[in-house]
A and B are shown apart, each in its own frame.
Chain A
Amino acid sequence: MAVSRQTRTVFALTAPAYLWLAVTVMLPLATMFYFSFLTASPLGGKEVSFTLKHYTDFFTKQIYWYNAWRSIELGLYVTALCLIIGYPAALGLAKYIKGRWREAIFLLIILPFWSNALVRTFSWTMVLREPFNILFSYPAIVVGLVHAYLPYAILTCYISLQAVDDSLIEAGRSLGATPAQAFRRITLPLSMPGILAAVFLIFVPVIGSFMEPRILGGKDAIMLGPIIEGQFITAFNWPLGAALSFTMLGMVLIILLIAAPFLKKQMAVG
């Protein structure tokens, strides 16, 4: 049977991307998935055998699921703070600031993106030690992560807020809604896609973060991200590190699955 011209075009356009992803993402991930069922890293000619131990460890040893919860908790704190700080900023940018000023402020928001993450985090150690004296504590980790992920919250919320037509808010006001009512009933629900996008973009990487907790957290740095990092870098126990990573991926997928019906409804709006 002849393949239609359109099918061939679609194939030609997408094949390079899929090939690239297959080689650079799926292949290493598949290898890691395989490693996670082994007793030890099969590097350097060691004898290894198949085991589920690393996965069962997660559920039987308190240290893992306790720290997994600490990671999720951190994700919730950071995501919430990013939205609490970022949403009003996005609202101001989208609805009240016009022209040159908007561009200037955008530049200031995006600036952290352009600096090296490691340099950025180390520069925080100085600020957090001297005037604030909270270095090597849980708040220090939160401050560092909020700083790193705030631009995501501002940009995604800004995009969805800018798409909210001003005449909708005016219509609400003309119908008797106070400014607060108009915000709660019109602006907020219509910007929900941006808020949800921010949640995806922030929550998932934050629960796996290890650099900020390591550098800023001190003894409070013990949570899943740094533990996984430790398995790869320090303990050289790749199978355990891989198993913990995939367990974390599983948790994220379960959270998304539970939230799916709600998300679907919110996304349909935009």
Chain B
Amino acid sequence: MSRVDIQHVTKRYGTFAALDNVSITFNDGEFFGLLGPSGSGKTTLLRSIAGFIIPDEGTISFDGEQVESVPVHRRAIGMVFQSYALFPHLTIAENIGFGLDVRGVAREDIKKRAAEMLAMVRLSGLEGRYPRQLSGGQQQRVALARALITRPKVLLLDEPLGALDRRLRQEMQVELKDIQRETGITAIFVTHDQEEALTLSDRIAIIDQGRLIQVDAPQTVYERPATVFAANFLGDANVFRGTPVAEGLKLADGTVIATLKPSTGAAIVRPEKLRVAGGHKKAQGNSIEGEIIQAIYSGASVTYRIRTKVLGDTPLLAFIQNQTGEVLATGALVTASWDPEQTIPVDA
């Protein structure tokens, strides 16, 4: 239950910078998602906070106290590993009680606290089992209970739900969020799963090549991405590049699309903001003519891939709510249109 402050942290491996001058403040009680492709440095950042990696430059502080030189076991962190890392030779109760046991807490107190933690993750009665006798979801909960029993200042989760199947993952997302809210702990998790990041996080940091791309609430990152990378990484995006003009952006073929704010040469529009109508005719707002090359019907919605002259090989992507029950055929000439306010200028 603390504020974690990262200032100008850099970590190099040879000439490769895994973290390049990263600064973030994780607020007290915040559930924070570090999102990025593999090798982006998100795990390096998490492990630097844990103390497994010592940064070359910069400071890390918990509640204003610098911790770079504090060893892992005295940092008061809780960590949940992707593989759960439950001790196979210890029972569930012993696993959960481990953090108190190494601190020399009395056996009776450990037993009581472990039982409370097991009740919190709804696994009462499994005290005497061994990890291998538990399902993946149960192991995940034990790992969480074990990390929280010492009342750490910050909970660090490394791809916490990565090893679970889709259904269980959605269940655990809700549970994880509930437990985080109940305990009020500052939690930082690493993920490459955008849905997980959107569902769980109060705020998200998008990381690429060791650099922070954007730090914002999930909704802001999605609706107002800062860069083309952020737009593509969190959700799907249609990207337009051109030259900035007074009205917006002038594309290669001379088409001018209006943008929300003046652009610097690139703008994106999310596929679900598009409208698609049959025939080539001028529509309200921004519009582009094209030909449907693929129509995927998935019940509630239809996904169209539309070939346009200006985007060339990259099809324009449109997600259309299925309100009429009709699907436009492949090969149909169409006009896609959208509001200028949904045309978000981004950095290339």
Listed in ascending order, the chain A residues whose CB lies under 8 Å from chain B are 165, 167-168, 170-179, 181, 185-186, 189-190, 269
Please give, as numbers and ranges, the residues of chain B lying within 8 Å of A177 by CB-CB distance. 73, 98, 102
Q: Which residue of A lies closest to B79 (CB)?
A: A174
Shortest beta-carbon distance, B100 to chain A, in Å?
Answer: 8
**Which residue of A167, A176, A185, A269 contacts B73 across the interface (Cβ within 8 Å)?**
A176
In chain B between 45 and 81, which residues have their CB closer than 8 angstroms to a CB of chain A? 50, 52, 72-74, 76-79, 81
16 CB contacts below 8 A, A to B, read: A165-B85, A167-B85, A168-B87, A170-B79, A171-B81, A173-B72, A174-B50, A176-B73, A176-B99, A176-B103, A177-B73, A178-B73, A178-B102, A186-B87, A190-B88, A190-B89
Residues of A within 8 A of B79 (CB): 170-171, 174
The distance from the CB of B116 to the nearest CB of chain A, in whole angstroms, is 17
Complex Cα–Cα for A172 and B102 (A) = 9
Complexed CA–CA distance, A174 and B72 (Å): 6
**In the complex, what residues of B have CB within 8 A of residue A174's CB?**
50, 72-73, 77-79, 147, 156
A165 vs B81: C-alpha distance when bound (angstroms)? 12
In angstroms, Cα B158 to Cα A232, docked, is 65
Instruction: Using A174-B156, A176-B73 as known contacts, list a sample of 14 further A-B pairs with CB atoms less than 8 Å apart, ordered by residue number in A.
Output: A165-B83, A167-B81, A167-B82, A170-B85, A172-B87, A172-B102, A174-B77, A174-B147, A175-B73, A175-B78, A176-B99, A177-B73, A185-B102, A189-B89
Choose from A171, A178, A269 the contact partner of B89 (Cβ within 8 Å). A269
Residue B342 CB within 8 A of the other chain:
no
Interface centre among B83, B98, B156 (most CB of A within 10 A): B98
Total A-B pairs, Cβ < 8 A: 65
Q: Are B99 and A170 in contact (CB under 8 A)?
A: no
- Find A170's partner among B76, B81, B86, B89 (CB 8 Å cutoff): B81
For the complex formed, measure the closest distance between the CB of A166 and the CB atoms of chain B, giving whole angstroms.
Answer: 9
Top 6 A-B residue pairs of the complex, sorted by shortest distance between their CB atoms: A175-B99, A171-B85, A174-B79, A167-B85, A269-B89, A173-B72
B146 is an interface residue with CB less than 8 A from chain A: yes
- Give the B interface residue count (CB, 8 A): 25
A-side interface mostly:
helix
Residue pair A170, B52 in contact (C-beta under 8 Å): yes
Is B7 part of the contact surface with A, judged by Cβ < 8 Å?
no
Tell me, in angstroms, the Cα distance from A177 to B147 when the chains sit together. 13
Looking at the assembled complex, report how far the CB atom of A158 sits from the nearest CB atom of chain B, in whole angstroms: 19
Q: Which of A165, A167, A175 has the most C-beta atoms of chain B within 10 angstroms of its own C-beta? A: A175
Quick one: closest A residue to B83, CB to CB?
A167
Pick from B52, B88, B150: contact of A269, CB under 8 Å:
B88
Give the distance to chain B from A265, nearest Cβ to Cβ, in Å: 10
Give the complex CA separation of A219 and B99 in angstroms. Answer: 55
Q: Which B residue sits closest to A178, measured CB to CB?
A: B73
CB of B220, distance to nearest CB on chain A (Å):
32
From the candidates A170, A181, A189, A190, name the one contacting B102 in the complex (CB within 8 A). A181
The distance from the CB of A146 to the nearest CB of chain B, in whole angstroms, is: 29
> How far, in whole Å, are A137 and B85 apart by their CA atoms in the complex?
50
Task: Kindly list chain A residues whose C-beta atoms are within 8 Å of the C-beta of B102.
Answer: 172, 175-178, 181, 185
Q: Which residue of B lies closest to A172 (CB)?
A: B98
- Alpha-carbon distance A189/B89, docked complex (angstroms): 8
Which residues of the partner chain A approach B83 to less than 8 Å between Cβ atoms? 165, 167
Across the interface, which residues of A come within 8 angstroms of B52, CB to CB?
Answer: 170, 173
State A170–B77 Cα separation when bound (angstroms). 12
Give the CA-CA distance A143 to B326 in the complex, in Å: 88
Interchain CA distance A171-B142 in the complex, whole Å? 13
